[in-house]
Amino acid sequence: MHLLKDAVTSGDLGWIQSAHDSRSKVQSMSGARQSGDLSGAQKAFSSLAPRGSQGLDTLA
């Protein structure tokens, strides 16, 4: 929460949007996992990887 407060205080809207997007992706991954949609959960998880990385391949 401290980072969010600092971002809001400084007006760093890019960081705030990035944090929101990441949270939405985590919620999507969790929902897919809970419903038994392994493929959907893997896809949502790989979307959390930093740009330019190999997504799930980086965990192998």
Q: Above 60 in pLDDT, residue 58?
A: no
User: What are the tens digits of pLDDT across the range 4-30?
Assistant: 788 778 888 888 888 888 888 888 888
Structure tokens at 54: 């190999």
Q: List C-alpha distances in Å: 8 to 2, 15, 24, 29, 54.
A: 10, 9, 19, 26, 31
The closest alpha carbon to 28, from 48, 55, 13, 14, belongs to: 48
Q: Which of 25, 33, 28 is nearest to 49 (CA)?
A: 25
Share the mean pLDDT of the chain: 77
Say whether pLDDT at 60 is over 70: no
Q: Which helix (H) or strand (E) holds 39?
A: helix 38-46
Would you list the domain boundaries of the chain?
A: 2-48
